[in-house]
Structure 1
Amino acid sequence: MASVKPARTAPVAPTFDELFAGAPVMAILRGMPVATTVELAVRAWDLGIDCVEVPVQDEAAGQVLAAVVAAGAERGKPVGAGTVTSAGRLERAVAAGAAFTVAPGLDADVARASVAAGLPHLPGVATPSDVQAARALGLTWLKAFPASVLGADWFQAMRGPFPEVPFVATGGIDAGNAAAYLSAGARVVAVGSALEDDDQLPRLAALLAR
């Protein structure tokens, strides 16, 4: 994979330890118009969710990411790029000013290129072999995906062989089941549509107050 150089003016990207220090919740804003995405990002920040991800599966999504990055810059909030599965998508993330990258699976070339571009990478894992391979690449935080399929028991099972690994539970998480995943061992849960649901917002706020 060709190397991807970060923009010269890009600030030093925060680590995942820093990104997730404030709250055990991450917001994923996928497939919505620019205005809606920015509105939900602001809602997330107002709730206390500092970590926001916008997937960049196509060129239009890259433009949405750039708009959220700009909104985040006004508040001092870094914004990441999701679904970074190729060199082209990584280039899109860098061009939009992303502070980190996320992927549904583990691709060593993508992971290395992202880190080389100055962006911490959060790969998706679903098996112990995935976890070992990701750790061998020097990746610290890992994304358990799809969490709703793996189930909360998966996180309890991973505590035995990998007690040092912090996992982000992603996929099928909302205000109703997030606490169960955190109790099972996930360090962070990722939510999306819950931010659009006024009925779930108070429950998310309560979760953030844990």
Structure 2
Amino acid sequence: MTDNSSFGELFNDVPLMAILRGMGVERSLAVATTAWDLGIEVVELPVQTPTDVEALRVVADAAHARGLSVGAGTVVSPEHVRLAKESGADFTVSPGFDVDVVRASHAAGMPSLPGVATGTEVQLALKEGLTWLKAFPASLLGTGWFGAMRGPFPQATFVATGGMDASTAPAFLAAGVRVVAVGSALEDPDQLPKLAALLG
């Protein structure tokens, strides 16, 4: 049985997470710093390429120096879990629900945030002991999906990922989403004040 309830403490009361996809090492660190300075404490970097892994290592070192957490994203295999651990990640995020990946991450001491898009996947994840779930792709699922899931699965807490920015985040948060993950919005000067407003 796995458990990822520690995401509640990790996200604290911050309703946003940053995803830094394919930005390279220097840009990843720069955008992560923008996120941190804005008040977004949690960032995620994928581990799909050697450059991604190096960026994760550099950003994780910088985050830990601030007392903050970094996650490894697009974790779809036990090998990715190993790379995430070696690079200093504090948690893993996956686009889908793979129980082997979840258990490997748990065994490595990193809580897993698996992706779900159906009632079946939510039910299987909850059965595994996971209460924090990544709804992906959130922009295609729509805000109504979260209300529909809340009825049969009130114990599930959702992070909305995929196509989110400062203009769409408020509606998803109002629909009961606990955290919205944003990416390219962090590089848009027009969106930064709006993201800051969401942080209170």
Q: Same fold (TM over 0.5)?
A: yes
Q: Does residue 183 of structure 2 align to residue 207 of structure 1?
A: no
**In structure 2, how many angstroms separate the alpha carbons of the residues matched to 1:117 and 1:90?**
8
Q: 1:80 to 1:14 in 2, by over 3 A?
A: farther
For the pair 1:30 / 2:18, whether they are aligned, the reply is no
- Please give the residue correspondences for 1:146-161 in structure 2 after superposition, counting only pairs within 5 Å: 146-161=137-152
Pick from 54, 65, 70 the counterpart of residue 74 of structure 1.
Answer: 65
Which residue of structure 1 lines up, in the alignment, with residue 114 of structure 2?
123
**Consecutive unaligned residues in structure 2, runs of 5 or more:** none
Alignment of 1:186-197 (within 5 A): 186-197=177-188
2:84 to 81, 86, 93: 93
Instruction: Measure the CA separation in 2 of the matches of 1:14 and 1:163.
Output: 14
State the Cα distance separating 1:22 from its structure 2 match.
3.1
- Structure 1, unmatched stretches of 5+, are 1-12
Alpha-carbon separation, structure 2, partners of 1:20 and 1:79:
11
TM-score (norm. length: structure 1): 0.91
Give the CA deviation at 1:59: 1.8
Q: Secondary structure at the match of 1:17?
A: helix
* TM superposition outliers: structure 1 runs of 4+ over 4 Å: none
- Matched residue SS, 2:22: coil
Q: Is the 8 A contact 2:54 2:87 kept in 1?
A: yes
Q: 1:183 & 1:158 partners in 2: Cα distance?
A: 15
Report the alpha carbon displacement of residue 73 of structure 1 after superposing the two structures with TM: 1.4
Superposed CA offset, 1:6-36 (max 9, x none) = xxxxxxx992011111301010001012111
Distance 2:176 2:166 in 1: 17
Q: Are residue 138 (structure 1) and residue 135 (structure 2) matched?
A: no
1:64 and 2:39 correspond: no
Q: Secondary structure at the match of 1:109?
A: helix
1:171 equivalent to 2:162? Answer yes
1:54 is aligned to 2:45: yes
Whole-angstrom CA distance in 1 between matches of 2:126 and 2:152:
13
**Equivalent residue pairs, number:** 197
State how far apart, in whole Å, the 1-side matches of 2:128 and 2:198 are: 32
Identity %: 60
**Corresponding letter in the other structure for 1:74:** A
What is the match of residue 9 of structure 1?
none
Distance of 1:75 and 1:208 partners within structure 2 = 19
